[in-house]
Amino acid sequence: MAWGPGSGPVDYGVAVAGKATFEVLALEEYAQIEVKYSEAYNGLENPQGDGPFAFANALAATFRVETFNITEPGNFTGYFIQGSQRWQSVKLVKGSGLTLGNPAFISSIDTTPVAAQDGYFASSNSMYTDIWALGPRTNQMTCFAPGTQTATWDITENGAYIRGQKPASTAKIVNLSNYTLTFEAMIDYGGTGWRVDTEIDAIQATGPIFVLTSEYPDGSFANIDRSLAPPNTLVLGRGWSLQNQTSLPGYVLDKFPLKVNVTEKVWHKIETVSHGDDTYTVFLNHEEIAHFNISSYGIGDPNPYIPGGANKGFAFGPWQDQATYIRNVTVTSNNGEVLYTQPMTSADALIEYGVQTNTDYVQSDSGKRDRFSWMGDRLISSRATLVSTADGRCVWGPTQQTLSRQATSGQIPANTLFSPLDTVGTLIRTINVDPLVADYEFDVLMTIYNYWFRSGNDTFLRNNWNTMTATLSYAVTRTLDDGTQLYGAPNGANGLPLSGEKGQALGPGNTVSLILGLEKMAEMAEHLNDSFAADKYRTQAQLSRQAIDQLLWNSTGGYYSGSLDTSGYDAMDIAQVLLGEIGTAARRKQFLGKLDALKLPAGYSNGTRFVGTPAVVNPYYMSFLLEGLAMANETALAQGLLDDTWSPMVRRDVNFTGALWEYVSPNGSYPGLDLFTGQSHYWGGYSTAFLTEYALGIRPSAVGYSQFVFAPLPSFNVEWVQGRVPTPHGLIYANWGYGSNGKIIMDIKAPQGTKATIVPPFPGKWTCQGRSGQGGNVTITGNARLFEV
Ligand SMILES: *[C@@H]1O[C@H](CO)[C@@H](O)[C@H](O)[C@H]1NC(C)=O
Ligand SMILES: *[C@@H]1O[C@H](CO)[C@@H](O)[C@H](O)[C@H]1NC(C)=O
Ligand SMILES: *[C@@H]1O[C@H](CO)[C@@H](O)[C@H](O)[C@H]1NC(C)=O
Ligand SMILES: *[C@@H]1O[C@H](CO)[C@@H](O)[C@H](O)[C@H]1NC(C)=O
Ligand SMILES: *[C@@H]1O[C@H](CO)[C@@H](O)[C@H](O)[C@H]1NC(C)=O
Ligand SMILES: *[C@@H]1O[C@H](CO)[C@@H](O)[C@H](O)[C@H]1NC(C)=O
Ligand SMILES: *[C@@H]1O[C@H](CO)[C@@H](O)[C@H](O)[C@H]1NC(C)=O
Ligand SMILES: *[C@@H]1O[C@H](CO)[C@@H](O)[C@H](O)[C@H]1NC(C)=O
Ligand SMILES: *[C@@H]1O[C@H](CO)[C@@H](O)[C@H](O)[C@H]1NC(C)=O
Ligand SMILES: *[C@@H]1O[C@H](CO)[C@@H](O)[C@H](O)[C@H]1NC(C)=O
Ligand SMILES: *[C@@H]1O[C@H](CO)[C@@H](O)[C@H](O)[C@H]1NC(C)=O
Ligand SMILES: *[C@@H]1O[C@H](CO)[C@@H](O)[C@H](O)[C@H]1NC(C)=O
């Protein structure tokens, strides 16, 4: 395929991931091209593409526009992995006579076709066939096998060679005050960059950003944004980057023009003095080039609503389309004591700065942006993986990585980097965002339970039981309020109430995570014959169950209050009460009646994730709700929610990626956070598990599917569904649908070693293998067909 300046954008049809590659067919002298990537088409209309993604430095490109210097014919391959994109464009910025061909990606992910997975699902309503496929496809976009996500720095004898990216931090030395950071930089092209006093891999970014630009000699990229980054200038920024991207604000505070030329390809010595009182002084080759007080600009202060980021340090990484060598880094205290040295000439620097190629199976939230391993989100995403593939590596692999990073307190990291880390880097990062999402500690234990219960493989439990019990006791101690037995210790860090991803402090949302975490751990404890632990966990779970029912039920309003000190609730409170089967069926039914008032076209409101950002529908929350509705046999509500939240993701328009979206706009017409939205984001993937477990109706009722049910939701509105479900005994094949007489027929093939209990989704009479009945159920082995009569 010919491709090049003047030809239209490339459309890969669905999201792809890897290193951009193309063939240079003809070239006069040399040329420069600007290549842009985007998941949604309209990112191509934006100067920054759909980026930049300065959220995480996570073994992929930060920038979604890359300028390439083309100097010879032949195949050209980009340096960075671009994590997820469907669209790509190219613009010639310098040179002439350039012809390109064969644009593609050298894939950094598994690309086995969905149809070749062990699990399978199809329906007369092809929308459901497509929704199911989003799960296994997003698993591929976000689960990375060892060695696939390549280092983003190169170590050379001249130090670390670093191309433009979000500055990567060391955790070796943190929370310093009144010190000097010194290093040598040799700019290869464009400029060099670093930060100091900024949160390490957290979800804040408040220390100064420094970008020192070169004199831009002949041959520099012709498309440099010289108003943002003039030559021979120290650009001072704050926030996530020098550009804004939706809820990642970036600020340019100042520009300090230099009286000297900043020459490329020679060494410069750079000293940054952090005086400890918000003032900074920067020296270039011993000449002062800037002195300022960062708070005097009055912008970019830490967001008080986002706790996390207890540890601050320094980081290295230049701006877009720049490349620099960095060597001989030292930190000295104001009295001259050397606190840190790093020559940057050996590979240990890659591990220290968290930019080394992954050695574990790792799981990202998103292909392109949220490239952190958030363990709580995997409670949902792993469910989709388990029904669609028999390969558990993407479930236990990332979980193993998470547990291997446990602190002595028992805490495991809410999010973690893909890179291998050293001991101190692990510790600092593990405790860094506490207590932001302490509920995730319970979620990871439930993820392990789900893997064990479906796979029957208890190796993980046996190998990690001590780590798991330590995680649980940390999480309970950290979150349980002794006075009420609800989740929400009164003294969260930074003086903020302790809440989690699932809702407010002292409400049902997170208390149900605590209860279910304890109860699943009790089941696993029993399996391992640790009945002492099992009893202890059940007793606490029971106390917390009673607490929700006694302290939070508002009988006037007919709801469980979302918090002890305020009235009201949100959709997540309703979801969690259903999932935990809290209280009586009558109370749950009454609470469920409140859902209608929260209805939006694309699901249910909730909510404002960050203060100041517009309302969106969150498929992660909707996933909890979908399962809660399914468990309560609320077929119409469940099917309606499936249609409303997930159908926008399978509409074949310019925003289709073949993968799950992170957010959906309230009216369902576009990805909820515009270009920022991860459109291969796995936290909202319960839809795939729902279709297998409740539309097809196959769910395990004993460990490893030795017993399972074939129990579709009554009145699920389709003509037929069919599917396969992987189990350790082999594949279960099932289908059900309506015969020409309008009556339901159900087929099941239970592999050897399993028993199936068929629960007809209709109240009337049936026959099955010579047996007959009305309602109830029938247990079979092998193959069976049930007829409604
Ligand atoms: C470029 O790579 C393609 C395969 O992607 C190969 O067919 C072609 O021969 C290569 N061209 C050169 C000049 O190496
Ligand atoms: C691009 O290549 C040309 C020719 O080798 C060179 O003169 C120029 O400096 C290069 N530009 C960059 C930014 O690397
Ligand atoms: C980013 O947006 C904020 C708030 O709208 C604004 O104050 C700031 O100047 C913007 N930053 C840039 C680099 O445009
Ligand atoms: C910087 O370089 C320009 C040419 O690019 C030259 O005219 C000027 O004298 C140089 N300035 C200094 C201070 O060396
Ligand atoms: C930093 O250290 C210097 C030298 O010891 C001292 O004079 C100064 O007061 C210190 N600054 C702060 C903010 O502590
Ligand atoms: C490294 O930097 C320190 C402090 O700036 C300096 O004393 C030392 O000579 C440098 N070492 C090398 C090998 O350049
Ligand atoms: C069971 O789980 C362990 C990881 O805990 C894994 O190494 C092993 O391959 C799994 N066994 C099977 C049969 O999948
Ligand atoms: C849900 O939405 C309500 C109202 O918009 C808000 O008060 C609450 O904080 C949201 N909850 C979460 C978990 O986002
Ligand atoms: C119970 O709910 C009613 C109706 O929403 C409300 O007016 C009342 O304040 C609530 N009671 C408490 C104790 O929150
Ligand atoms: C849901 O419906 C099925 C079949 O009609 C029945 O067996 C089951 O008990 C019901 N579950 C609940 C929670 O009502
Ligand atoms: C695609 O998504 C963008 C936002 O990311 C939105 O503005 C646009 O309207 C959507 N286009 C279609 C056809 O839905
Ligand atoms: C099947 O029926 C028996 C007897 O009524 C009942 O105890 C059991 O819970 C039912 N199982 C399922 C899965 O519905």
Q: Which ligand approaches the C-alpha of residue 157 most closely?
A: 6
Q: Whose CA is nearest to atom 7 of ligand 9?
A: 557
Task: List every span in the chain annotated with CATH 1.50.10.10.
Answer: 380-594+618-637
Tokens for 252, please give them: 């340019």
Is the omega angle on the peptide bond into residue 52 within 30 degrees of 0, that is, cis?
Answer: yes
**CATH superfamily of domain region 696-788:** Maltose phosphorylase, domain 3 (2.60.420.10)
CA 248 → CA 304, 409, 467, distances in Å? 15, 31, 35
What are φ and ψ of residue 165, in 5° steps? -170, 165
Q: In 573-659, at which residue ranges do the beta strands (DSSP E only) sit?
A: 599-600, 603-604
193, β-bridge pairs: 211
Q: Which residues of 199-214 are buried (b: 16+ CB within 10 A; e: fewer)?
A: bbbbbbbbbbbbbbbb
CA 482 → CA 259, 380, 460, 516, 563, distances in Å? 63, 29, 32, 18, 16
Give, in degrees to the nearest 5, the angle at Cα 465 between 464 and 471: 90
d(CA 258, CA 289): 7
Using the Cα atoms of residue 404, residue 407, residue 412 and residue 417 in order, give the sign of their dihedral: negative
Q: Which amino acid is at 694?
A: Y
Q: Whose CA is nearest to atom 5 of ligand 1?
A: 102
Ligand 8 pocket test target in 570, 600, 617 with most atoms within 8 Å of CB: 570
CA of 759 to the centre of ligand 12 (A): 8
CA of 522 to the centre of ligand 5 (A): 55
Nearest residue to 779 (alpha-carbon basis) of 696, 711, 712, 690: 711
Q: Whose CA is nearest to atom 11 of ligand 3?
A: 251
User: Radius of gyration of the chain from Cα atoms?
Assistant: 28
Ligand 9 pocket test target in 506, 553, 554 with most atoms within 8 Å of CB: 554
Nearest residue to 442 (alpha-carbon basis) of 407, 468, 406, 405: 468
3-state secondary structure 512-541: HHHHHHHHHHHHHHHHCCCHHHHHHHHHHH
d(CA 665, CA 602): 7
d(CA 212, CA 231): 9
**Three-class SS of residue 19?**
strand
Q: Whose CA is nearest to atom 1 of ligand 2?
A: 69
Count of CB atoms situated within 10 Å of the CB of 741: 9
Q: Which ligand approaches the C-alpha of residue 259 most closely?
A: 4
State whether the beta carbon of 217 lies less than 6 angstroms from ligand 2. no
H/E run at residue 772: strand 771-774
CA of 670 to the centre of ligand 11 (A): 5
d(CA 474, CA 399): 17
**Three-class SS of residue 132?**
helix
CA of 689 to the centre of ligand 10 (A): 19
Ligand 3 pocket test target in 244, 255, 297, 299 with most atoms within 8 Å of CB: 244
Q: Which atom of ligand 5 is nearest to the CA of 335?
A: 5
Ligand 1 pocket test target in 24, 75, 102 with most atoms within 8 Å of CB: 75
CA of 261 to the centre of ligand 4 (A): 6
CB-CB contact of 448 with 527 (8 Å): no
Burial class (CB in 10 A: 0-12, 13-18, 19+), 160: buried
Count of CB atoms situated within 10 Å of the CB of 532: 9
d(CA 159, CA 254): 29
Q: Which amino acid is at 481?
A: D
**Three-class SS of residue 571?**
helix
CA of 566 to the centre of ligand 8 (A): 13
Architecture of domain 10-108: Sandwich (2.60)
Task: List every span in the chain annotated with CATH 2.60.420.10.
Answer: 696-788
Q: Whose CA is nearest to atom 6 of ligand 1?
A: 75
Ligand 9 binding pocket (C-beta < 6 A) is 554, 556-557, 561, 567
Please list the ranges in the chain whose pLDDT falls under 50. Answer: 493-496, 607-610
Q: Whose CA is nearest to atom 12 of ligand 2?
A: 220
CA of 220 to the centre of ligand 2 (A): 7
CA of 17 to the centre of ligand 4 (A): 43
For residue 184, what pLDDT is reported? 98
Task: List every span in the chain annotated with CATH 2.60.120.560.
Answer: 153-353
State whether the beta carbon of 633 lies less than 6 angstroms from ligand 11. no
CA of 56 to the centre of ligand 3 (A): 20
**Three-class SS of residue 312?**
strand
CB-CB contact of 322 with 312 (8 Å): no
What are φ and ψ of residue 598, in 5° steps? -95, 5
**CATH superfamily of domain region 153-353:** Exo-inulinase; domain 1 (2.60.120.560)
d(CA 280, CA 303): 22
d(CA 563, CA 503): 9
d(CA 167, CA 209): 9
Tokens for 184, please give them: 């040598």
CA of 486 to the centre of ligand 10 (A): 29
H/E run at residue 631: helix 619-631
State whether the beta carbon of 25 lies less than 6 angstroms from ligand 1. no
Strands, sheet with 209-213, edge to edge from the N-terminal-most edge strand: 168-169, 312-316, 191-199, 209-213, 233-239, 250-257
Alpha carbons within 13 A on the beta-carbon side of 463: 11
CA of 180 to the centre of ligand 6 (A): 14
CA 114 → CA 10, 137, 216, 381, 490, distances in Å? 23, 7, 48, 16, 47
Ligand 5 binding pocket (C-beta < 6 A) is 178, 275-277, 334-335
Q: Which amino acid is at 590?
A: Q
CB-CB contact of 660 with 681 (8 Å): yes
Ligand 7 binding pocket (C-beta < 6 A) is 392, 396, 457, 459-460, 463
Q: Whose CA is nearest to atom 8 of ligand 10?
A: 633
CATH topology of domain 380-594+618-637: Glycosyltransferase (1.50.10)
For residue 490, what pLDDT is reported? 56
Q: pLDDT tens across 370-401, in order? A: 899 999 999 999 999 999 998 899 999 999 99
- How many whole angstroms from its chain centre is CA 675? 16
Ligand 8 binding pocket (C-beta < 6 A) is 503, 570, 572, 605-608
CA of 22 to the centre of ligand 1 (A): 9
d(CA 621, CA 692): 19
CB-CB contact of 44 with 689 (8 Å): no
What are φ and ψ of residue 234, in 5° steps? -100, 110
CA of 185 to the centre of ligand 2 (A): 19
Tokens for 345, please give them: 């000439």
d(CA 112, CA 532): 45
Nearest residue to 503 (alpha-carbon basis) of 472, 554, 537, 548: 548
Using the Cα atoms of residue 580, residue 586, residue 587 and residue 589 in order, give the sign of their dihedral: positive
Tokens for 177, please give them: 């005050």
Q: Which runs of consecutive H residues, i.e. helices, occur in 632-775?
A: 635-641, 647-650, 686-690
State whether the beta carbon of 69 lies less than 6 angstroms from ligand 2. yes
CA of 184 to the centre of ligand 6 (A): 9
For residue 433, what pLDDT is reported? 75
CA of 343 to the centre of ligand 6 (A): 9
Angle between helices 508-527 and 459-479 (to 10 degrees): 150
Q: Which ligand approaches the C-alpha of residue 677 most closely?
A: 11
For residue 2, what pLDDT is reported? 65
Residues 6+ apart with CB under 8 A from 485: 540, 543, 544, 546, 547
d(CA 232, CA 210): 13
503, β-bridge pairs: 500
> By percentage, how much of the chain surpasses pLDDT 90?
86
Q: Which ligand approaches the C-alpha of residue 278 most closely?
A: 5
State whether the beta carbon of 75 lies less than 6 angstroms from ligand 1. yes
Alpha carbons within 13 A on the beta-carbon side of 480: 22
Using the Cα atoms of residue 224, residue 229, residue 234 and residue 239 in order, give the sign of their dihedral: negative
Q: Whose CA is nearest to atom 6 of ligand 3?
A: 251
Angle between helices 531-547 and 508-527 (to 10 degrees): 160
Q: Which ligand approaches the C-alpha of residue 657 most closely?
A: 11
